[in-house]
Amino acid sequence: MLEVEALSCPYCGEQIELLVDASGGDQRYIEDCSVCCRPIEVALWVDAQGYQVQVKREDE
């Protein structure tokens, strides 16, 4: 089940869209920002309400 999440890039602050697959359970991966091309660390976890996505800078 692919979902589109609108999030703000932690580097440039631009709104970006991420495709997330919540059916695979908890995940952590790197996705390059489509605006500034820097590597965003994406954390996805599944809970009772559905799923949550958090993005942060790779160097934090």
What is the C-alpha end-to-end distance of the chain, expressed in Å?
Answer: 30
Question: Residue from 25, 36, 43, 56 that binds Zn ion (CB under 5 A)?
Answer: 36
DSSP state of 26: S
The verdict on 43 binding Zn ion (CB under 5 A) reads no
Instruction: Pick the closer one to Zn ion by CB: 7 or 9.
Output: 9
DSSP-based helix, strand, coil % in the chain, nearest 5: 5, 60, 35
Question: Residue from 9, 18, 46, 53 that binds Zn ion (CB under 5 A)?
Answer: 9
Sites of contact with Zn ion (CB under 5 A): 9, 11-12, 33, 35-36
